[in-house]
C-alpha cells in the first residue's frame, strides 16, 4: 500500500508552471529524498501533497485513499520556512500544535515533554520561543511535526542551519522512525545526506521529474567506469587500450575506462607488469554528479527548445 | 469547529496575558474615573461669579436683580447697586479700564418713557467674550421682570413660584429621543473604538502569522476559514472582555455614592432591559462583521503599513452610518431609514438606533440578523480564499484584478 501517490499532477501559477506532470510513489518504511535545484517545484509539490494547494490536474492519494483533509492527522509537516509564535512558551506551543493535530491536552503535554528530553532541549521547555537559538527553534518545530505520531513525515529542508551534532541527532531520529515503518519524505540540497539516508529519490528540475526510483536502481543506470589507483613503480599499465582517459598525479592515477570489465583487466595488467598497487577502487558515480549532470542537461535542453525525457 | 475553538482559545489566552492588555484594562477606567470626577468638580466650580455693577433708579428692581444674581440657581455673582448720576458712568468706565479692579461690567437701566412699559438695559462689559455673565444677567432680568409684572397684577408670591416651576414631561413609556441618541452615540463610539482597536488587532494578528510563517504549519492541518474564524473570535473575545471590564467599572463608578453626590442624582437610568439586550446583540454582530472585514484586509496585506492604507474600509461604513443617523432620527419609519438599517454594514448601528426610537417590526430585526450573519460568512469565505493564495505568493502587493483571480483559485 503506497503512502503517497502523485499521479501526473500539474500546477500553474498565473503564467509560471510550478509542477508539470509529476508522478511518484512513496512506500511505507522508506526514506524518500526529493531533490532539485532552487525553484524546481519541490515546495509546490509538497504543498499539493498536504492539500495547501490543489493541483490543476492530476490526482493526489494519501494512504491509498483519495486526498481528504481528515487524512492530514496522519501527516507530520515541517515547512521550509520555520515559524513559531515568538511570545509563546515552548511547552504551550507544542501542546497547541499537538491539539490541532487531534491530540487531547494531556497526551500532547506528555509527549511534548518526552520529545524535548529525546531532542535534548529540556531546559527550553518553559522559555519563550524568541529567547531560543535558531537551532533550538528548529528542533521544537521538528518535535511539533512528530507529536501526533504521523505515518507520513514530510520535511522541507530539515537539516538546513543545524550544526553537525544536531543534524546527526535529527537524522538518527528519522532513521528510527523509518525502522518503525513510517514513510519519510524530505527535500534537501545536501547530496551526502541523501546518499547516506535515502532508500529512494526523485529528482525534479523546472517542475518536471528527471529521475526517480530506488537509490540502487538509479545508480545502476550510471556506469561504474571510473577507477582510482594508488601505486608505486611502473606506470606503463596506464596505456591499456581500454582506458579512455588517464590522469597521473605521480602515484595516484584517475582513469576512465570503457566499461566496468576493463577495470579488472587494467588491475591484472598492472600486477603482471610488477607495479605495486596500494589501493584500487572502482568509483561509483556520486549522487551529486548524477544531480549536476541531469540538472545541467534539463536546463541545456530547455534552452535549446528541446524536451526532457526522464 | 474544534480547530476554530483551539485557535480562538490560544489567541485569547496569549493576548489577555500581555502586559499591554492588563495596563489598558486598568488604566482606562482610572482615566475615565478621573475625567468624571474631574469634570463634576469643575462643573461645581463653574458658576458665574463675576463682579458687576447695576445702575438703576428703580431700587425695587435693583434689589430683586441683585438677589437673583447673587443667590440664583447657577450664578454666584457680586453685585453693586448704584443710582444713576452724571459721574456714575465715568467712574464705572474708569473702573473697567483699571486692571486692578475686579469689575467685569455694568448694567445701565434706562427707565421707560411711558409708565408700565419695560425699561431698556445696556450692558457694558470689560470683555466681549464673557458670555456666561451676559447670559446670567439676561435670564435673571427675565425672571425678575416677570415676577414684578405678575406682582403688579396682584398675584401672590407663592402662586408665582408655582407657576414659574419648570414642567417635566415623562416620555419613558414611548422611549425618548435623548436616551436613544445617548445610546446610539455610546454604541457608535464604543463600536468605533473597539473596531479600530480590536478589528485592527485581528488584521495584525493575521499579518503577524504571515511574517513569522506559523500559518504554514497551521494550514497543514486546518482550513484557512477555520483559522480566520478562530482569529476573529479569539481577538473579539479579548475586546469584549476589556469592554466588559470597562462597562462594569463605569457602572460601579456612576452608581457609587461619591459620584452621585458630585454629579447630582439625576442620572440617565432610562434605558430598558430590552434596549440593553438589543444593544448587546447588535454590538456583537457589528463587532464580528467589522472584524471579518479586518480579517480580509489582513489576508490581503503583508505588512502593518499596507494595512494602515486600507483601514478606511473600516471607517467609511461607520462614517456613513453617522450621516444617516440624522435623517433617521427625523423619520425612523421612512423607506430610506428602513432600507439603510437593513444594510448589513449599517444594521449594527442604525437598526439598533431605530429600535430605540420606534416600534420596528420583528421581521425587520430578524432580517437584519440573517443578513449580517450571511455577510459575515461571505466575507470569511472570500477572505479565506484570498488568504490561502495570498500567503503562497507573498512579497508582492496584490492589485484588484489579481485578488479577483485569487477567488477562483482553491
Q: Tell me what pLDDT residue B43 has.
A: 63
pTM of the predicted protein model: 0.70
Q: Nearest-CA neighbor of B203 among B276, B306, B122, B283?
A: B306
**Is residue A92's pLDDT more than 70?**
yes
CB contact under 8 A, A85 and B222: no
CA distance A207 to A240: 44
**Is residue B178's pLDDT more than 70?**
no
| A55: chain B residues, CB-CB within 8 Å | none
Q: Grid coordinates standing for B286?
A: 457589528
| Residue of B2, B220, B401, B404 to mutate for A, most A C-beta atoms under 10 A | B220
| A79: chain B residues, CB-CB within 8 Å | 213, 216-217, 220
| A87 half-sphere exposure, CB direction, 13 A CA radius | 12
Q: Which range among A143-147, A184-188, B126-130 shows the weakest confidence by mean pLDDT?
A: B126-130
Please give the mean pLDDT across all residues of chain B. 77
CA A72 to chain B, closest CA, distance in angstroms equals: 6
β-sheet with A75-78: strand ranges across: A75-78, A152-156, A183-188, A31-35, A200-205, A208-214
| A97: chain B residues, CB-CB within 8 Å | 217
Q: Nearest-CA neighbor of A81 among B50, B317, B395?
A: B395
B197-214 pLDDT tens trace: 777 888 888 888 887 778
CA distance B54 to B397: 74
**B292: burial class by Cβ within 10 Å (0-12, 13-18, 19+)?**
buried
Residue A46 pLDDT grade (very low, low, confident, very high; cuts 50, 70, 90): confident
CA B7 to chain A, closest CA, distance in angstroms equals: 8
Q: Grid coordinates standing for A178?
A: 523509518
Q: Residue holding cell 529512494?
A: A200
What is A4-220's CATH topology? Rossmann fold (3.40.50)
Q: Which range among A205-209, B154-158, B258-262 shows the weakest confidence by mean pLDDT?
A: B258-262
Apex CA B190: angle with CA B3 and CA B180, to 5°? 125
- A–B interface: beta-carbon pairs under 8 A: 57
Q: Which range among A99-108, A144-153, A179-188, B397-406 shows the weakest confidence by mean pLDDT?
A: B397-406
* H-helix segments, B264-361: 273-300, 304-310, 312-330, 335-342, 347-357
| A126 half-sphere exposure, CB direction, 13 A CA radius | 1
CA distance B207 to B198: 14
Q: Tell me what pLDDT residue B269 has.
A: 47
Count the Cβ atoms, other than its own, within 10 Å of residue B24.
Answer: 15
Q: Where are the domains of chain A?
A: 4-220, 223-283
| B3: chain A residues, CB-CB within 8 Å | 100
Burial track B61-73 (b if 16+ CB lie within 10 A, e otherwise): bbebbbebbeebe
B48-63 pLDDT tens trace: 677 888 888 877 788 8
Residue B270 pLDDT grade (very low, low, confident, very high; cuts 50, 70, 90): very low
Report strand pairing: A200-205 vs A31-35: parallel
Q: Grid coordinates standing for A75?
A: 501527516
Q: Tell me what pLDDT residue B374 has.
A: 92
- Average pLDDT score over residue span B357-367: 83
CA distance B349 to B341: 8
CA distance A39 to A207: 8
Share of chain B above pLDDT 90, in %: 1
A267-289 pLDDT tens trace: 888 888 888 888 888 887 777 78
CB contact under 8 A, A72 and B221: yes
Question: What are the two backbone dihedrals, phi and then psi, of residue B305, each rounded to the nearest 5 degrees?
Answer: -65, -45
CA distances from A224 to A289, B52, B191 (A): 12, 117, 75
CA distance B301 to B311: 11
CB contact under 8 A, A96 and B410: no
- Average pLDDT score over residue span B164-168: 70
**Is residue A65's pLDDT more than 80?**
yes
CB contact under 8 A, B6 and A50: no
**Is residue B109's pLDDT more than 60?**
yes
Q: Grid coordinates standing for B332?
A: 425612523
CA distance A123 to B367: 57
CA distance A50 to A69: 8
**Is residue A53's pLDDT more than 60?**
yes
**Is residue B156's pLDDT more than 50?**
yes
Q: Running DSSP on this structure, what letter comes out for residue B358?
A: S
Nearest CA in chain B to A92: B10
**B372: burial class by Cβ within 10 Å (0-12, 13-18, 19+)?**
buried
A212-252 pLDDT tens trace: 888 878 877 777 778 888 888 877 777 778 788 888 888 88
Residue B257 pLDDT grade (very low, low, confident, very high; cuts 50, 70, 90): very low
Cβ-Cβ contacts under 8 Å for B225 (sequence gap 6 or more): B380, B381, B384
Q: Which range among A139-143, B156-160, B189-193 shows the weakest confidence by mean pLDDT?
A: B189-193
Burial track B91-104 (b if 16+ CB lie within 10 A, e otherwise): ebeebbeeeeeebb
Of the candidates B18, B220, B410, the beta carbon closest to that of A77 is on: B220
Q: Nearest-CA neighbor of A139 among A111, A113, A167?
A: A167
CA distance B296 to B310: 11
Q: Where are the domains of chain B?
A: 1-41+177-409, 47-168
* Complete DSSP assignment for B146-164: HHHHHHHTT--HHHHHHHH
Is the CB of A53 inside 8 Å of chain B's CB atoms? yes
Strand partners for A33 = A186, A201
E runs forming strands in B111-263: 120-125
| B209: chain A residues, CB-CB within 8 Å | 83
CA distance A309 to A135: 40
For chain A, report the end-to-end CA distance as a whole number of angstroms: 25
Q: Grid coordinates standing for A225?
A: 567506469
CA distances from A1 to A61, A62, A64, B244 (A): 11, 10, 6, 56
Of the candidates A75, A86, A100, the beta carbon closest to that of B212 is on: A86
Q: Tell me what pLDDT residue B395 has.
A: 47
Q: Tell me what pLDDT residue B304 has.
A: 80
Of the candidates B6, B217, B410, the beta carbon closest to that of A99 is on: B6
- Average pLDDT score over residue span A53-58: 82
- Find out whether A183 and A283 touch, Cβ atoms under 8 Å: no
- Find out whether A17 and B353 touch, Cβ atoms under 8 Å: no
- Residue B187: in which H helix or E strand, if any? helix B177-194
Pick the CATH number of B47-168 from 3.30.70.930, 3.40.190.10, 1.10.357.10, 3.30.70.1140: 3.40.190.10
CB contact under 8 A, B221 and A100: yes
Cβ-Cβ contacts under 8 Å for A203 (sequence gap 6 or more): A35, A36, A209, A210, A211, A212, A290, A291, A294, A295
**Is residue B246's pLDDT more than 50?**
yes
CB contact under 8 A, B221 and A81: no
CA B397 to chain A, closest CA, distance in angstroms equals: 15
Q: Nearest-CA neighbor of A124 among A93, A83, A157?
A: A93
A18-30 pLDDT tens trace: 888 888 888 888 8
Number of residues in chain A:
310
Residue A307 pLDDT grade (very low, low, confident, very high; cuts 50, 70, 90): very low
Q: Tell me what pLDDT residue A310 has.
A: 36
Strand partners for B110 = B120
Q: Residue holding cell 509537516?
A: A77
- Find out whether A40 and A206 touch, Cβ atoms under 8 Å: yes
Q: Tell me what pLDDT residue B396 has.
A: 52
CATH for A223-283?
3.30.70.100
B150 alpha carbon, distance to own chain's centre? 42
- Average pLDDT score over residue span A127-148: 88
Is the CB of A152 inside 8 Å of chain B's CB atoms? no
Amino acid at each position: 500500500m503506497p503512502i503517497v501517490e502523485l499521479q501526473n499532477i500539474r500546477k500553474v501559477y498565473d503564467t509560471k508552471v510550478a509542477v508539470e506532470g509529476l508522478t511518484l510513489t512513496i512506500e511505507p518504511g522508506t526514506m524518500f529524498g526529493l531533490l532539485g535545484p532552487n525553484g524546481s517545484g519541490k515546495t509546490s509539490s509538497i504543498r499539493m501533497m498536504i492539500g495547501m494547494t490543489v493541483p490543476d490536474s492530476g490526482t493526489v492519494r494519501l494512504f491509498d485513499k483519495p486526498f481528504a483533509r481528515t487524512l492530514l492527522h496522519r501527516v507530520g509537516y515541517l515547512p521550509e520556512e520555520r515559524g513559531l509564535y515568538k511570545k509563546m512558551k515552548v511547552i504551550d506551543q507544542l501542546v497547541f500544535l499537538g491539539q490541532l493535530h487531534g491530540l487531547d491536552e494531556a497526551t500532547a503535554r506528555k509527549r511534548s515533554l518526552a520529545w524535548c528530553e529525546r531532542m535534548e532541549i529540556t531546559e527550553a521547555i518553559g522559555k519563550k520561543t524568541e529567547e531560543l537559538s535558531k537551532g533550538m527553534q528548529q528542533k521544537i518545530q521538528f518535535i511539533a511535526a512528530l507529536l501526533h505520531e504521523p505515518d507520513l513525515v514530510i520535511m522541507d529542508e530539515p537539516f538546513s542551519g543545524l550544526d553537525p551534532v544536531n543534524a546527526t541527532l535529527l537524522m538518527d531520529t528519522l532513521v528510527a522512525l523509518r525502522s518503525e515503518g513510517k514513510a519519510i519524505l524530505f527535500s534537501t540540497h545536501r547530496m551526502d545526506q541523501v546518499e547516506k539516508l535515502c532508500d529512494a529519490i526523485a529528482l525534479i528540475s523546472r517542475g518536471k521529474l528527471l529521475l526517480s526510483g530506488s537509490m540502487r536502481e538509479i545508480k545502476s543506470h550510471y556506469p561504474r567506469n571510473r577507477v582510482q589507483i594508488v601505486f608505486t613503480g611502473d606506470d606503463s599499465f596506464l596505456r591499456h587500450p581500454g582506458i579512455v582517459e588517464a590522469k597521473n598525479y605521480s602515484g595516484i592515477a584517475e582513469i576512465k575506462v570503457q566499461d566496468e570489465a576493463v577495470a579488472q583487466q587494467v588491475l591484472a595488467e598492472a600486477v603482471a607488469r610488477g607495479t605495486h598497487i596500494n589501493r584500487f577502487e572502482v568509483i561509483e558515480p556520486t549522487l551529486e554528479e548524477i544531480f549536476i549532470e541531469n540538472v545541467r542537461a534539463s536546463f541545456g535542453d530547455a534552452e535549446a527548445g528541446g524536451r526532457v525525457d526522464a | 469547529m474544534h480547530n476554530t475553538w483551539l485557535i480562538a482559545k490560544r489567541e485569547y489566552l496569549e493576548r489577555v496575558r500581555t502586559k499591554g492588555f492588563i495596563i489598558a484594562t486598568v488604566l482606562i477606567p482610572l482615566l475615565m474615573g478621573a475625567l468624571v470626577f474631574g469634570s463634576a468638580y469643575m462643573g461645581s466650580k463653574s458658576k458665574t461669579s463675576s463682579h458687576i455693577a447695576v445702575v438703576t433708579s428703580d431700587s425695587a428692581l435693583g434689589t430683586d436683580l441683585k438677589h437673583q444674581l447673587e443667590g440664583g440657581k447657577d450664578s454666584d455673582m457680586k453685585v453693586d447697586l448704584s443710582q444713576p448720576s452724571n459721574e456714575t458712568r465715568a467712574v464705572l468706565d474708569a473702573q473697567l479700564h483699571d486692571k486692578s479692579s475686579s469689575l467685569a461690567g455694568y448694567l445701565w437701566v434706562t427707565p421707560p418713557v411711558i409708565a408700565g412699559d419695560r425699561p431698556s438695559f445696556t450692558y457694558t462689559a470689560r470683555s466681549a467674550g464673557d458670555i456666561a455673565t451676559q447670559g446670567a444677567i439676561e435670564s435673571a432680568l427675565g425672571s425678575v421682570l416677570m415676577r414684578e409684572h405678575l406682582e403688579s397684577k396682584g398675584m401672590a408670591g407663592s402662586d408665582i413660584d408655582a407657576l414659574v416651576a419648570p414642567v417635566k414631561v415623562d416620555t419613558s413609556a414611548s422611549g425618548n429621543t435623548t436616551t436613544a441618541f445617548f445610546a446610539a452615540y455610546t454604541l457608535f463610539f464604543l463600536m468605533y473604538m473597539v473596531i479600530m482597536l480590536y478589528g485592527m488587532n485581528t488584521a495584525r494578528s493575521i499579518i503577524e502569522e504571515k511574517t513569522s510563517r506559523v500559518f504554514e504549519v497551521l494550514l497543514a492541518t486546518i482550513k484557512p476559514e477555520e483559522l480566520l474564524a478562530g482569529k476573529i473570535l479569539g481577538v473579539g473575545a479579548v475586546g469584549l472582555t476589556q469592554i466588559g471590564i470597562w462597562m462594569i467599572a463605569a457602572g460601579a463608578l456612576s452608581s457609587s455614592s461619591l459620584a452621585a453626590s458630585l454629579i447630582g442624582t439625576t442620572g440617565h437610568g432610562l434605558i430598558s432591559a430590552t434596549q440593553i439586550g438589543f444593544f448587546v446583540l447588535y454590538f456583537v454582530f457589528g463587532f464580528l462583521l467589522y472584524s471579518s472585514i479586518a480579517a480580509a484586509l489582513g489576508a490581503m496585506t503583508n505588512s502593518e503599513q499596507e494595512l494602515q492604507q486600507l483601514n478606511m474600509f473600516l471607517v467609511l461604513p461607520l462614517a456613513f452610518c453617522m450621516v444617516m443617523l440624522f435623517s433617521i432620527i427625523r423619520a425612523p419609519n421612512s423607506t430610506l431609514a428602513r432600507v439603510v438599517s437593513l444594510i448589513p454594514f449599517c444594521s449594527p448601528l442604525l437598526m439598533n438606533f431605530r429600535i430605540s426610537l420606534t416600534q420596528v417590526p420583528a421581521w425587520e430585526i430578524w432580517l437584519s440578523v440573517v443578513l449580517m450573519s450571511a455577510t459575515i460568512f461571505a466575507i470569511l469565505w472570500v477572505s479565506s480564499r484570498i488568504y490561502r493564495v495570498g500567503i503562497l505568493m507573498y512579497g508582492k502587493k496584490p492589485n484588484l484584478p489579481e485578488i479577483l483571480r485569487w477567488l477562483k483559485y482553491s
